[in-house]
Structure 1
Amino acid sequence: MVLSALIPDELIMDILSRLPVQSLVKFLCVNKSWRSLITDDPAFKALNFHLHSSDTNSNYLITIPNEFSSETRLCTVIFRNNNNNGEVSNFVAKEIEIPFRTPTHFYRVLCSCNGVVCMSGCGIYTNIIDSLYLWNPSVRNFKMIGSCTPPGDTNIMITRHGIGVDHRDHDVFLLIIRIIFYYDVYEGTYNGEKKPYTEVYSLNTNSWSRIHESVVVPCLASDQPTAFVNGAIHWKALSFSSRRCVIMYFNTSERVFGEIRLPVNAFDSIVGNQWRPTVFKGLLAVIVISRVFPASRKKICDIWIMNEYGVVKSWTKRFAIPITLEDTLFVRPLGITKNDQLLLDLDGKLLWYDLDCQQGWILGFHGVQAVNIIGSREFGEIRLPVNCFDHMVRLHWRVTVFKGLLALIVISRIHPASRKICDIWIMKEYGVVESWTKRFAIPIPLEDTLFDRPLGITKNDQLLQDLDGMLLWYDLDGEQGGILGFYGVQGSFDVDTLTDSLYLLGPTRE
């Protein structure tokens, strides 16, 4: 008799639900009953996701280039690794291939929920999106979804999407909401005579259904990723009635829209547009970038929590996190993971901040070793080497690690009219500014590059640079390198936070 036949089904479900997603995918070929449980039982999927959603190793960051110039479609996954004592020790990165190919070679992240990414093959300035791709990187499968654009002039249409759990389908199936706004030329607004066209795609029924025209869409939604909480999808939006920034929501059970006002005086008038809705410990939250005081160059990241959903007076500022890089021009909130990790994009550098232990790291989109920038739960700062910057290209620098030491990669010039050079500075004694030493001065072989972005140094001492979308590899020990070819369009990446899940969208890739 087979051993599994002697074990009660309830016990098998309890045991398997405690295993990580990657292990469960391997079990699909072990036993037919196990395969049916893992792939077809909605209750099992929900239980597994609930048990693992806050695990450090189940939450990860994915960065996806918007365009590829070669046949290889690799994106980077970054997650925090635990040591033998169960404590977080470092960051680990690996490359995975996007399993589908778009006709346009564009890859754009629209939104995500429960480990599933909703993507399109259209460029960032495309108004109408007809084809969507659902992709679960954890189980390496995907599903292509087609849709029909309503008749009319597509030049006056813009499309917005959101993804969430369908509460009409026992909270286990996903749905996508698609909104088409029409621009009224005479009124100069998207809230003209022709009302938005809305429809919902259900993963359960594999079909689109139109939302009745009587359902009012009260806001113009942003094209930024959405947040799903309290049974609703939430967008950063502009209210048609008040002309103010609000959060628009779509309730997946009642199939209705609404708006939620933001905290009073939460915005800085200069950087007021740098905010986004997110989720923190199961509550609706907002990440807002502002300044310490009006005349200051120092920015701060405020996190507001709505303690009672829908009650504006319950907004509470929970965190005020200083951004230590003063020269940062572009700060983009990326969200909060399910295990309470805040993610910010600082001029292309990734700030990863643990909201529980109040520690943060600067690391790159390509998995460069992280640098802990927090000590004793307080922020600190380290001054850079004197005269290390070229005033023409001073923004092209980044923090990294070389042979266990804090290091700095700086793009500069030998003299103002000359070609560029890559300097690598090493801090021999941590925290001692006088110990900065220029260790390398590497000429950049391409004279006419416009965009030079340092990507970092690998643990085996390989320098990586982005030169107008071409990858420069340079061995610092052997002092030799070369151009590896195009890997993506310069500086054009989508970043999203995901959690391992068992949403199977198609055949699993072994």
Structure 2
Amino acid sequence: METGDHAQLPLSGILPDELVIEILSRIPIKSLLQFRCVSKSWKSLISHNPQFVKLHLHNSPKNDNLILFVNKGLDEEEDDFDIRAIYCSKQTLLDNNISSIVNAEDGRCFVVNDTNWSVGSCNGLVCFRSHLVNNEVIESHFRFWNPALRLISKKSPALYVNKLPGDPFSPARYGFGYDSSSDTYKVVVMILGLENTIVKVHSMGESCWKEILSFPTFPIGELDGQFLNGTLNWLALDKSGYGYDWRTVTVNHLVIFSLDLEKETYRHLSLPAGLVEVSCVESNLKVLGGYLCFFFHYRGTHFVMWQMKEFGVEMSWTQLFIISDQHLQFDIDHPLIPLCTSENGDVIVMARTDDFGAIIYNWKSNRVELIETNNEFLENGEDYVESLVFPG
């Protein structure tokens, strides 16, 4: 950062400006926002200097916070489910203090519902999609929320997707990530056609969508694209899902579709070698603690998780654990959803998607603890890092 970007800082007579900026870049957002009142130059630095925003993001702890999606049940007044995206510390969840999370103050909470759902989190921004179905056309808009700043953007330009004949589900999958080469945040939509999947991209702040790719692969599963190292990653079928006989799908048909946001190209990554049987319905990907993880339910009796130790290197797949449903103290009818890991990665929290509560599992000590949530479902969780990135 050049000297002219931060001239006349109040402490410049005591400490060098560069040191003052380095100190400020390591301060939590809540305190930093209060420091804007110190002077006009500090306010300008904290609120409007893009180099300082990047420096603060670089120095912010990367595995401390979480966006947790909590379903509080049916809203009797509006006849709709009350689902909240809540910004919280992971340690609160790991300490089994769910009540303090559910009762978070309004400024750290965003209400979502069946027509308004998360697409992903990246660099302090959370992307939400709202949709409206009109006949056979799905109209979607996207907004960006920074819970640390308590700011949310206006709606993006509309995206229109035609439903496929006879298919009641949405023919699209979504992802949200950051292209460092252009300093751009991008929403990616993959739309299944009768023969190929097409990819459309919207860059935050722009007024249009553009089509970038067409190919036969199609992502599956309930989770959106997982952002890691400049790429979005989905578990996918190796050809168009519309042409599959699902009764014949095996592990050999599954790949990881990895989209490079800078080059706008893709490649296929292999799943761990030696897999014999994997259920497509109960398998998926999740970025946990900065690593791409592949998890699945094996033969209806065990939960299995693998971790790619070096992203993009298929030989680096390592099985973290395999644990029986009996040891989890849980009769699983639906897949578990990993929410987060501890800082050292030894402990993982998993939502029980067909029951109230979650599971805290220390895979090093093989110890299981249950989280009770007082009749509230934990739907999902996403890693979150505090930032000053403006959701515009």
TM range (shorter): 0.7 to 0.9
Q: Which has the higher contact order (CA 8 A, sep 6+)?
A: 2
- 1:178 and 1:317 map into 2 onto residues whose CA distance is 31
1:299 and 2:302 are equivalent in the alignment: yes
1:13 and 2:21 are equivalent in the alignment: yes
User: Is the contact between residue 342 and residue 353 of structure 1 (CA under 8 Å) also seen in structure 2?
Assistant: yes
Which residue does 2:333 correspond to in 1? 329
Equivalent residues in 2 for 1:239-258 (5 A)? 239-240=238-239, 244-258=253-267
Letter of the structure 2 residue corresponding to residue 177 of structure 1: V
- 1:14 and 1:167 map into 2 onto residues whose CA distance is 22
Report the secondary structure of 1:208's partner residue: coil
1:277 and 2:285 are equivalent in the alignment: yes
Q: How has the CA–CA distance of structure 1 residues 199 and 39 changed in structure 2, closer, same or farther, with 3 Å as cutoff?
A: farther
Report the secondary structure of 2:262's partner residue: coil
1:309 to partner: Cα distance: 3.4
- 1:80 and 1:258 map into 2 onto residues whose CA distance is 33
CA RMSD of aligned residues (A): 3.8
- 2:294 and 2:302 map into 1 onto residues whose CA distance is 16
User: Is the contact between residue 339 and residue 380 of structure 2 (CA under 8 Å) also seen in structure 1?
Assistant: no
Q: How has the CA–CA distance of structure 1 residues 19 and 505 changed in structure 2, closer, same or farther, with 3 Å as cutoff?
A: same
- 2:10 and 2:151 map into 1 onto residues whose CA distance is 31
Tell me the alpha carbon deviations over residues 53-95 of structure 1, each in whole angstroms, 9 at most, x when there is no partner. Answer: 3454x3453425698555898555553458xxxxx75534232
1:224 to partner: Cα distance: 1.7
Match of 2:143 among 133, 146, 149: 133
User: Is the contact between residue 161 and residue 176 of structure 1 (CA under 8 Å) also seen in structure 2?
Assistant: yes
Which residue does 1:498 correspond to in 2? 383
Which residue does 1:176 correspond to in 2? 187
User: Is the contact between residue 249 and residue 257 of structure 1 (CA under 8 Å) also seen in structure 2?
Assistant: yes
Report the secondary structure of 1:351's partner residue: strand
Return the TM-score normalized by structure 2: 0.74
User: Is the contact between residue 190 and residue 200 of structure 2 (CA under 8 Å) also seen in structure 1?
Assistant: yes
1:122 and 2:131 are equivalent in the alignment: yes
Q: How has the CA–CA distance of structure 1 residues 495 and 181 changed in structure 2, closer, same or farther, with 3 Å as cutoff?
A: same
Report the secondary structure of 2:27's partner residue: coil
User: Is the contact between residue 123 and residue 387 of structure 2 (CA under 8 Å) also seen in structure 1?
Assistant: no
User: Is the contact between residue 76 and residue 95 of structure 1 (CA under 8 Å) also seen in structure 2?
Assistant: yes
Report the secondary structure of 2:41's partner residue: helix
User: Is the contact between residue 290 and residue 299 of structure 1 (CA under 8 Å) also seen in structure 2?
Assistant: yes
- 2:74 and 2:126 map into 1 onto residues whose CA distance is 17
- 2:201 and 2:140 map into 1 onto residues whose CA distance is 14
Q: How has the CA–CA distance of structure 1 residues 355 and 114 changed in structure 2, closer, same or farther, with 3 Å as cutoff?
A: farther
Q: How has the CA–CA distance of structure 1 residues 114 and 357 changed in structure 2, closer, same or farther, with 3 Å as cutoff?
A: farther
Equivalent residues in 2 for 1:429-444 (5 A)? none
Report the secondary structure of 2:18's partner residue: helix
- 2:123 and 2:367 map into 1 onto residues whose CA distance is 26
Tell me the alpha carbon deviations over residues 239-288 of structure 1, each in whole angstroms, 9 at most, x when there is no partner. Answer: 2179612211110111112221211343645x453222123453332122
Report the secondary structure of 1:44's partner residue: helix
Q: How has the CA–CA distance of structure 1 residues 120 and 209 changed in structure 2, closer, same or farther, with 3 Å as cutoff?
A: closer
Letter of the structure 2 residue corresponding to residue 328 of structure 1: I
Match of 1:344 among 350, 353, 368: 350
Equivalent residues in 2 for 1:418-433 (5 A)? none
Which residue does 1:146 correspond to in 2? 156
Q: How has the CA–CA distance of structure 1 residues 111 and 64 changed in structure 2, closer, same or farther, with 3 Å as cutoff?
A: farther
Which residue does 2:3 correspond to in 1? none
- Unmatched tracts of structure 2, length 5 or more: 1-7
User: Is the contact between residue 130 and residue 140 of structure 2 (CA under 8 Å) also seen in structure 1?
Assistant: no
- 1:29 and 1:229 map into 2 onto residues whose CA distance is 36
Equivalent residues in 2 for 1:433-472 (5 A)? 455=374, 465=375
Return the TM-score normalized by structure 1: 0.59
- 1:74 and 1:134 map into 2 onto residues whose CA distance is 15
- 2:365 and 2:104 map into 1 onto residues whose CA distance is 28
Q: How has the CA–CA distance of structure 1 residues 174 and 146 changed in structure 2, closer, same or farther, with 3 Å as cutoff?
A: closer
Aligned residues: 354
User: Is the contact between residue 112 and residue 118 of structure 1 (CA under 8 Å) also seen in structure 2?
Assistant: yes
Equivalent residues in 2 for 1:366-385 (5 A)? 368=373
1:178 to partner: Cα distance: 1.9
Which residue does 1:375 correspond to in 2? none
% identity of equivalent residues: 22
